[in-house]
Amino acid sequence: VDRIADILQNSLLDENEFDLVVSDLLMPVMDGYQLCYSIKTDSSLQRTPVVLYTATYVTRKDEQLAKSLGADDLVGKPIEPDEFLERINAVVARRAEGGEAGRIAPALDERQFLREYNGHLIQSLEDRLILLESNQSLKALNRELEKRVDQATREIQRSHDDLAEANRKLSAANKEWETFSYTVSHDLRAPARSIR
């Protein structure tokens, strides 16, 4: 936390006043939750609205943690640009109308923040691990399904080839039958003419 404070002290946040801070959750050095906590615990910055933005899935716990840290909104990607701008404009409008920016939950001290934050990180990592394992299982199932589809396609192709061969043989037999019928018919007419 001291390192985060040092970063904030030497940052643009300390040198400028902002109407809004939009931060991704996943960043190098500190994540969006840490940045939000640092902004909201700094007396000169705590009135600055903070919107957290993430491409990872957003759970109810993510939203609760963000709100407890004073975030004004937590936006999950993908989101349509118009909807994103509406949400940003709503946060800025609340602030412009004299509304309060998000505040840290009153009972949230640094120790509690770290406990909740670490618990959240562990849960997120477990969720991602489960997702990764599920993804690997899906890939294995997908490979098996592709093998079965290939095998079924080959069997259908063989059946189609067999059917085509049977059709060729039937066509040849029909031609032979027509030829034979014509010959027999012709041969039977000659004696009938003679008798007539």
Q: What single-letter DSSP state applies at residue 144?
A: H
Distance CA 122, CA 52 (A): 20
Report whether pLDDT(173) > 80: yes
* 37, 5 Cβ separation under 8 angstroms: no
**Per-residue pLDDT tens over the stretch 22-55:** 888 877 777 888 888 888 887 777 788 899 988 8
Q: What single-letter DSSP state applies at residue 108?
A: -
Q: How confident is the model at residue 190 (pLDDT cuts 50, 70, 90)?
A: confident
Distance CA 135, CA 140 (A): 9
More confident residue, 162 or 55: 162
Give, rounded to a whole angstrom, the gap between the first and last alpha carbons of the chain.
122
Look up residue 126 and give its two tokens: 């477990």
- Highest average pLDDT, of 61-70, 71-80, 91-100, comes from 71-80
* The dihedral sign for the CA sequence 145, 149, 150, 152: positive
Q: How confident is the model at residue 171 (pLDDT cuts 50, 70, 90)?
A: very high
What three-state secondary structure class fits 119? helix
Report whether pLDDT(20) > 70: yes
More confident residue, 113 or 48: 48
What's CA 33's distance to the chain center, in Å? 22
